[in-house]
């Protein structure tokens, strides 16, 4: 009988550890905040995109399609290849959840736009828009 007790105690300890570990994982999962579902539609003008000033217009909407207002949006433009400094533009809010910024494409080639969005509640989102084949003037 004495040999069974250490086994039982070990099993009980292992079971308790398992339960505590499972509980802590569930508790952590419940505390994590889900990122908001936001749709972002972006248009560039002029089309086709050429070197020089480009107008970036983005429409932000929630999961129900309702326009998101009072957000902050910064556009960062990076060349697809390393070595170029990024360009930035701060968007101004327009009616209907639209935001518009102007950036300057310095050279022809492929660019990547990063939209840095801060929602009214302070949540930050990033979206990427690939701009292939910016042309020379």
- DSSP letters, the chain, are -TTHHHHHHHHHHHHHHHHHHHHHHHHHHHHSPPPP--EEEEEEESSS-BSEEEEEEEEEE-TTSPBP-S-EEEEEEEESSTTSPPEEEEPEEETTTEEEEEEEE-SSEEEEEEEEEE-TTS-EEEEEEEEEEEBP-
* pLDDT tens digits, 59-73: 999 999 999 999 999
Percent of the chain predicted with pLDDT > 70: 74
Average pLDDT over residues 90-100: 97
Q: What is the mean pLDDT of the chain?
A: 81
């Amino acid at each position: 009988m004495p040999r069974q007790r250490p086994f039982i105690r070990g099993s009980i300890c292992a079971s308790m550890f398992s339960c505590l570990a499972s509980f802590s994982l569930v508790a952590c999962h419940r505390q994590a905040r889900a990122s908001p579902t936001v749709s972002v539609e972006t248009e560039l003008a002029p089309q086709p995109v050429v070197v020089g000033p480009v107008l970036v217009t983005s429409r932000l909407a929630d999961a129900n399609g309702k326009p998101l207002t009072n957000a902050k949006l910064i556009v960062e433009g990076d060349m697809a290849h390393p070595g170029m400094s990024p360009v930035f533009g701060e968007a101004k809010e327009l009616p209907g959840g639209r935001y518009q910024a102007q950036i300057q494409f310095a050279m022809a080639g492929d660019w990547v736009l990063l939209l840095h969005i801060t929602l009214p509640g302070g949540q930050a989102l990033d979206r990427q828009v690939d701009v292939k084949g910016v042309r020379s003037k």
